[in-house]
Amino acid sequence: MLFGAPTINLNLISELERQTPNLIVWAVPAMILFTLIEIVFSYKDNKAYYEKQELTGSILVGIGNLLVSAALKVSLLLLVVWIYNQVPWRMHLNWWTFPLCYILYDLCSYWAHRISHEQRFWWATHVAHHSGEHYNLAVSFRLSWVQHLKIIFLMPVLLMGFHPIVFFVTNQIAVLFQFWVHTEYIRKLHPILEFILATPSNHRVHHGSQDCYIDKNYGATFIIWDRMFGTYEPEHIPVKYGLTTPIDNKWNPFFINFHEYKDIWKDVRQAKGFKQKWHYMFGSPTQIAQEKKQEL
């Protein structure tokens, strides 16, 4: 049967944790190996794909993210299991529920990603990933230390009643998928793949700071969402990477993660009236950046 699974005893959460494969930790050695290979080839080919300070920043941000994720793992598992126990349509642990879970997860990820670009509060949880001015596999390590706040956007998936192990495996595979797309070495793939998937070409566009590329191609695994919701843009000119206002401190992981919060706090303090304060908190980061440039 699909539904009717029993509740999970929260006292047995450690057992469930052991049953959940830690795919990201297992994949770390392979990710490091492929990153080292790309570094070697980029220097051998005289390609400016890596810069020492940015690489240091990516590594330190990545290590910090692993530590934060490890510290929050049990708490997140408890939250997911508690929600699972509340819904009456709990699904059994079956492998064939994974594809549906993955598709719905990716749809929610699209909207979480899009909102993270369209509202400044959420942009602060994502800006670390876009702060690098070079595009390489190490950029995939630049995951914000506060990104777990965005689990709120995944609530529709949790409320569908998928088994917690299915949810966490989906989450890990979705994260791992995004590793290989952060490279200049893979150009355009077969047109069918480019139409359906968030390929390296499609994701390079997302990291572009040119006007034609800003706020485009949010899809994590499937680019089809961008085609459906009007945010798709093909790669047609060389991409200029990084933020529209580059950061100066390229290696400090704390600055990379939290500089936007500092700027938000400064803007909100100086703003006049509730409406302007709200604008600086939840307005479009792109619009706010343009307004500041016009003031200079």
Question: Got the DSSP string for 83-116?
Answer: HHHH-TTPBP--GGGHHHHHHHHHHHHHHHHHHH
Q: What is the pLDDT of residue 47?
A: 94
- Asked if residue 133 and residue 53 are part of one domain, the reply reads yes
The string of pLDDT tens digits covering residues 196-251 is 999 999 999 999 999 999 999 999 999 999 999 999 999 999 999 999 889 989 99
- pLDDT above 70: residue 1: no
Whether 190 is in a domain gets the answer yes
Q: Is 46 or 12 the better-scoring residue by pLDDT? A: 46
Whether 3 is in a domain gets the answer no
Exposed, middle or buried, 80 (CB in 10 Å: 0-12/13-18/19+)?
buried
Q: How far apart are the C-alpha atoms of 10 and 136, rounded to whole Å?
A: 41
Cα torsion 86, 92, 96, 98: sign: positive
Among 229, 256, 284, residue at a domain's last position: 229
- Asked if residue 198 and residue 93 are part of one domain, the reply reads yes
- Asked if residue 271 and residue 146 are part of one domain, the reply reads no
- Asked if residue 290 and residue 152 are part of one domain, the reply reads no
- pLDDT above 90: residue 294: no
244: closest CA among 296, 207, 203?
A: 207
- Asked if residue 272 and residue 213 are part of one domain, the reply reads no
The string of pLDDT tens digits covering residues 129-188 is 999 999 999 999 999 999 999 999 999 999 999 999 999 999 999 999 999 999 999 999
% the chain with pLDDT above 90 = 89
Whether 99 is in a domain gets the answer yes
Q: How far apart are the C-alpha atoms of 115 and 218, rounded to whole Å?
A: 10
Number of domains making up the chain = 2
Whether 274 is in a domain gets the answer yes
Whether 101 is in a domain gets the answer yes
- Asked if residue 171 and residue 218 are part of one domain, the reply reads yes
- Asked if residue 276 and residue 146 are part of one domain, the reply reads no
Q: What is the pLDDT of residue 290?
A: 86
Whether 271 is in a domain gets the answer yes
Can you give the residue range of the structural domain that contains 60? 19-229
Q: Is the pTM of this model over 0.85?
A: yes
